[in-house]
Amino acid sequence: MILNYKKLMVNSTNFIRFNLEKMCFIQFLQTNCKYIQELFEKLLKKKKNQKWPIDQEVENILSRLITLQKELLINPDEKKTEEYKEQILKKTSEPVKQIRRLNQQITFIESLIQKLAPSPVEEITDDEQTFLIRLFLASKLSDPDSMVSTLDKYLKNIGLMWNTIILSLYRYIRVYSDLPNCVVRVFLFQQGIEKEFYKLAYRDYGNSTFDLKEEKKEEFEKHKKELIYGAKIQSIQYRDIFQLMISEIVPEFEKLKLDFLECSSQFEELISGFSSIDDFIFDSDKDLDSLNRLLDSLLAFESKFLSKKENFTIFDREFHKFQKETEYIIQSIFGMDIDSKTSHYGGEYQDSYEYDEPFANIKFLIETTNGVLLEKCQKDCDCQPRTSNWNYSPIIPEHRIVHKPVILTPEIEQQISEIPEKLQKLLE
């Protein structure tokens, strides 16, 4: 009686565990329903494409046997009949096996499509569950280089964004330290108190000069010191905030890469005894333990990946916001700078005055890192629109264009590597 009770308890425990697994699996199907339907469509199309040439092969074999069949009808001969049957079996047995197997697979897939169509999902058998798990694992892990490349790209882009941040901060603080008079002038105009500080004199053609009032020089210098100090503090805050975000994001993506490689390694062990991925997907093995363990690991990875992608999206949004804000401030100051320089020329010369934007070399480095980040092409690439007749070239079909992407040359990388130290000295 005790033995029977224990056996009943074991069976009950297995039944509860089995139903919990079923419930979890149904939830997994509902969560990934759209993705699995796309996998079905691709697999069904693939199987039908595999079947068509074999069908043609069987038809060709049979057509070649027509001559012998005709001869048998006219001159019946038992020996020739046996020879005919033997040739049919010999020539068609293998392709017929392949067609039957493909027909079974196609029927199986079509039945699953119908079964997964309604919501909630109908009862899933063990064979169907095994198939679905194998299909899902194969879709995610049979080409590991794709995901590894994606994760590497995230890490590369984070590095490019960090370089761009440092370059932008260096350009930003250089503007404040090298063009302080223009910085103060922008501030005074934004505050609406420029008339208190400047003796606005208008020359011919409406050009103005900004002569500082003698009694305002001390206050002007005070504003200059405060604005430069404020820019330093703001630059340090920007740098520290982004550095903190990166110090959290980079290890997360490096850990994701390790987790995925572990999943990939387990998958390689599972498929080591199969001649193809399809053989693995349609295998009838019902031992779900190893499959479920790998599925759990893969789903855990995907959940983390979605979370870390969200963290990266937040970082990316803040990065572009920072670029937009600093560029707006810098261009406002450069606007005052060009006004002050062109004010020395008459109106007839002002339009032709060539203004060299300060720190063009730093701007070039920023444009380069941005170009690599956004996967842009160089200005002389065939895919770029021509804006001048002098640059005209025949339109090249898209499939013939050999793109010239923006790249970081060793010389540019060397220049970028020197900026952090220069920035640190300016912020001290």
pLDDT at 326 over 80: yes
The mean pLDDT value for 127-131 works out to: 89
Residue with tokens 């690599």: 372
pLDDT value of position 7: 43
Lowest mean pLDDT among 29-43, 51-65, 280-294, 394-408: 394-408
pLDDT tens, position by position, 374-391? 988 888 887 776 655 555
The pLDDT assigned to 20 comes to: 43
Please name the amino acid found at residue 123: E
Distance CA 362, CA 368 (A): 10
For residues 28-38, give the mean pLDDT: 87
337, pLDDT greater than 70:
no
Q: The pTM is what?
A: 0.79
Is residue 287 over pLDDT 60?
A: yes
Mean pLDDT taken over the chain: 83
| Mean pLDDT (whole number) for 270-294 | 87
pLDDT for residue 62: 75
pLDDT at 124: 81
- pLDDT tens sequence across 182-210: 899 888 888 888 888 888 665 554 455 67
More confident residue, 280 or 76: 280
Q: What's the pLDDT at 168?
A: 96
pLDDT tens figures, 133-154: 999 999 999 999 999 999 999 9
Measured distance CA(351)–CA(345) in Å, rounded: 10
pLDDT score of 317 more than 90: yes
pLDDT (0 to 100) of residue 222: 94
Indicate if the pLDDT at residue 21 is higher than 60: no
Render pLDDT for 204-247 as a digit per residue (tens, 0 to 9).
544 556 788 889 899 999 999 999 999 999 999 999 999 999 99
| Mean pLDDT along residues 398-425 | 89
Tens digits of residue pLDDT in 260-276: 999 999 999 999 889 89
pLDDT above 90 for 281: yes
At residue 80 the predicted structure's pLDDT band, cuts being 50, 70 and 90, is low
Taking residues 411-418, what's their average pLDDT?
Answer: 95
Q: Across 118-122, 158-162, 282-286, which has the greatest mean pLDDT?
A: 158-162
pLDDT, tens digit (0-9, with 9 covering 90-100), for 89-101: 677 778 888 889 9
